[in-house]
Structure 1
Amino acid sequence: MAVTMGGQDGASAASGAALPAVLGGTPAFPEGLPLTRVQVPDRAELDRRFDAILTSGQLTNGDTVRELEDAAAEFLDVPHVVAVASCTSGLMLALQAFGVAGRRVVMPSFTFSATAHAAHWAGALPGFADVDHATLTLDPGSASREIDASEGSPPTVAALMATHVYGTPCHVEELDKVATEWGVPLLYDAAHAFGSRRAGAPVGGFGTAEVFSLSPTKVLAAAEGGLVATRDAALAETIRLGRGYGNPGDYDCVFPGLNARMSELHAALALVSLRTLPERVAHRGALAAAFAARIEGLPGVRLPALADGDTSTWKDLTLIVDPAEFGCGVPVLAAALKAEGIDSRRYFHPAVHVQKAYAPLHGAWRLPVTEEMADRVLTVPLWSHMDETTILRVADAVVRIQAHAARL
């Protein structure tokens, strides 16, 4: 589904829109509409699994974790999946296995901070590259230029990282060419993307490895946890060893690992959730399409582009707002939505390269698209069990606000 804006529906609706709540109109959601709501899977099966785990006394690194790894590998069509405590720990272990310490990892700055944090904790330096204007995912050309610019003097580039932002698949074919050209491993922060597909193929089998998050806001949730998917047997074994301190079993640690094991209880929750994942991804896609249709033709607002043949989890429903055309900027829009009772977040603002944690490095990169998009994005509520009426009420609130933006 290529999500684009054009036509007359939103514009026509705007011309006769009622007052938004911030100007005295009736709030769309007087009871409040949170950004996310967790959908707990089949309670009966969960109770059965939890009871069996608690009765066994095996609370971590047991049969349920292995069952999840096998089920995820089958779903993703990859030979190896390693369950870990979080996506961040999975990224850290993969980067450690790549030997990035003291070297540079090229990555987007338009991403959640954990992408860069993982490289830092693995002993690497970030090399930030720009993103594509349409998809907000890593621009392969910018990534290649950043690698090239880092080759002239140490530290050299040790790896390339990319993020499937909001579940939108990256330009995986072009990024693979960049990684091959420069002879570096390609790691995907796939935190948002368990259930996404690139040209019909599951996200999970691209690059050297892909790492997913199972935290509560994700479409596949385990309360907390992560999954590392790879076709590289040696890498999978290294990560499996690393999640248990690097201890092969005799306490003579092979390398400094982490306590990054997933508990049996978290694995059980993920397993039950996995059974209905395709239905949830399809429903979220339908809601995103309904939202896009409702605001079609509305000036100055669009959703990230999704290529024909691709599937996104739509982990986040994020608007890209052009203040000049929309009539107001993101902070004003967010305040107006709050008056409607609608929660929102600026995912991702500020961009990583200008955050306090990385501010000492600021000035080394010119990322015009990243900085523009970071100022223009606003995420609105979308949940797996939201109904179409609710998402359309959110869209209608955006239409009303735009119609009266000059007064805000």
Structure 2
Amino acid sequence: MAVTEGAGGVAREAAVPAVLGGSPAFPEGLPLTRVRVPDRDELARRFDAILDSGQLTDGGTVRALEEAAAAMLDVPHVVAVSSCTSGLMLALQALGVAGRRVVMPSFTFSATAHAAHWAGGEPVFAEIAPDTLTLDPAAATAAAGPGTGALMATHVYGTPCDVEGLRAVADARGVPLLYDAAHAFGSRRGGVPVGGFGAAEVFSLSPTKVVVAAEGGLVATRDAALAERIRLGRGYGNPGDYDCLFPGLNARMSELHAALALVSLRTLPQRVAHRGALAAAFAARIAGLPGVRLPALAKGDTSTWKDLTLIVDPTAFGCDVPRLAEALRAEGIDSRRYFHPAVHTQKAYARTGEPVRLPVTEEMAERVLTVPLWSHMDEPTILRVADAVARIQEHATKL
């Protein structure tokens, strides 16, 4: 087979995509995510100790996780919870958003808006910056009118937000700033760990994340009073005498989940560095390929690259995202449209109030496609994914 110069100036076989009859890049299949638990022996020892103790919640393992996470994030307080969603709910409740507007991006996971709704707030959607896909401070300023109780931004895919710009908006409006940091444990803004930029930042430890507890979340804050209220809230608002101070949740993290998170946390810096190297190799391989790019990362910032997401210009690329996803499926490559549809267009929110138009968000939601990236993936695998994308682009007009 002839050899041609591929994307990034790298020589590769000039093959046709599998969807047009070529051989699939991954006949065995390549899933979007694949979890590997580090150091199973240590995890087994921790599980045995927990089970022997007979204390499955409210024990020393959860406290050890909170202390280790606080040290890594360089914040004084971390509260472990059952999920990122419950952490957002409790943080928003503690910040007093009930009956008030919560300005947020629509380009995010639905749980961002759900949490505001459950805390009694009104989700108000604002535009994103098209280069980073994170909340645009100028759009947040325009949306944060009278009755606003908080701003909430998302570090999408692990890309740090414009925290300085958003802080200025929150300060000017006199409202707290909260971050949905589900993707971002290990991300850095100008070298500073994500975790201490808002009134609180809430992380996810679900199986698709870079730190894994099977299920769970962490609320990071510099505010001792806020941390204490969230601690009370995760246990029904019960201070210990069953005379509940406010309506809380059962949002405790179990000792077993905390043990898995502790073991996962230990090798986080190496995993973040490796994921960054894989993303850089992928970006170099597709450099110069028409109509496809990755979200922009500011100089000095670090992303966890929780998701490796392509932004596709269908005109320049030659086909739209659904056709690209179909062609990748033929190659054996799994993919997801994170985040499509945008939250403000979903049935849960499109039916409420006046119709919302967010042209940038809606366009970006149509253009994004996430391809596989795991913490233990090797470079040849990620380059095979990049080459599959390039082959599809070269033959896109035939799809």
* TM-score, normalised with respect to structure 2: 0.97
Residues 1:261 and 2:261 aligned together: no
Aligned match for 1:377, one of 365, 368, 385: 368
Counterpart for residue 68 of structure 1 = 65
Counterpart for residue 290 of structure 1 = 281
Letter matched to residue 208 of structure 1? A
Aligned match for 1:33, one of 30, 34, 41: 30
Instruction: Please list the CA deviations of residues 211-243 of structure 1 after superposition, one character each: whole Å capped at 9, or x if unmatched.
Output: 000000000000000000000000000000000
Counterpart for residue 226 of structure 1 = 217
Distance 1:385 1:363 in 2: 46
Residues 1:360 and 2:351 aligned together: yes
Letter matched to residue 393 of structure 1? R
How far 1:101 sits from its partner (Å)?
A: 1.1
Instruction: Please list the CA deviations of residues 95-136 of structure 1 after superposition, one character each: whole Å capped at 9, or x if unmatched.
Output: 001111111100000000000000011111111000001000
Contact 1:13 1:399 in 2 (8 A): no
Distance 1:55 1:16 in 2: 57
Counterparts in 2 of 1:147 and 1:242: CA distance versus 1, 3 Å: same
Aligned match for 1:127, one of 124, 129, 135: 124
RMSD: 1.3
Counterparts in 2 of 1:204 and 1:302: CA distance versus 1, 3 Å: same
Counterpart for residue 3 of structure 1 = none
Contact 1:354 1:362 in 2 (8 A): no
Residues 1:407 and 2:393 aligned together: no
Alignment of 1:7-406 (within 5 A): 10=7, 17-148=14-145, 151=146, 156-361=147-352, 363-406=354-397
Contact 2:99 2:120 in 1 (8 A): yes
Distance 1:297 1:64 in 2: 49
Distance 1:10 1:132 in 2: 27
Distance 2:71 2:332 in 1: 41
Structure 1 unaligned segments of length 5 or more: list them.
Answer: 1-7
Contact 1:11 1:299 in 2 (8 A): no
Match of 1:361, SS? coil
Counterparts in 2 of 1:294 and 1:338: CA distance versus 1, 3 Å: same
- More moved, 361-370 vs 115-124: 361-370
How far 1:17 sits from its partner (Å)?
A: 2.9
Match of 2:351, SS? helix
Letter matched to residue 174 of structure 2? G
Match of 2:144, SS? helix
Distance 1:280 1:89 in 2: 26
Match of 1:45, SS? helix
Distance 2:388 2:112 in 1: 33
Contact 1:219 1:313 in 2 (8 A): yes
Distance 2:283 2:329 in 1: 21
How far 1:361 sits from its partner (Å)?
A: 3.1
Contact 1:198 1:311 in 2 (8 A): yes
Letter matched to residue 309 of structure 1? G
Letter matched to residue 68 of structure 1? L
Instruction: Please list the CA deviations of residues 302-361 of structure 1 after superposition, one character each: whole Å capped at 9, or x if unmatched.
Output: 000001100000000000000000000000000000000000000000000000111113
Letter matched to residue 292 of structure 1? A
How far 1:364 sits from its partner (Å)?
A: 3.9
Structure 2 unaligned segments of length 5 or more: list them.
Answer: none
Counterparts in 2 of 1:223 and 1:15: CA distance versus 1, 3 Å: closer
How far 1:15 sits from its partner (Å)?
A: 10
* TM-score, normalised with respect to structure 1: 0.95
Instruction: Please list the CA deviations of residues 38-74 of structure 1 after superposition, one character each: whole Å capped at 9, or x if unmatched.
Output: 0111011001100000000010110000000000000
Identity of aligned residues (%): 81
Instruction: Please list the CA deviations of residues 156-188 of structure 1 after superposition, one character each: whole Å capped at 9, or x if unmatched.
Output: 111100000000000000100000000101000
Distance 2:319 2:11 in 1: 15
Distance 2:204 2:10 in 1: 38
Letter matched to residue 159 of structure 1? A
Contact 1:214 1:221 in 2 (8 A): yes
- Number of matched pairs: 395
Letter matched to residue 57 of structure 1? G
How far 1:16 sits from its partner (Å)?
A: 6.8
Contact 1:14 1:298 in 2 (8 A): no
Match of 2:80, SS? strand
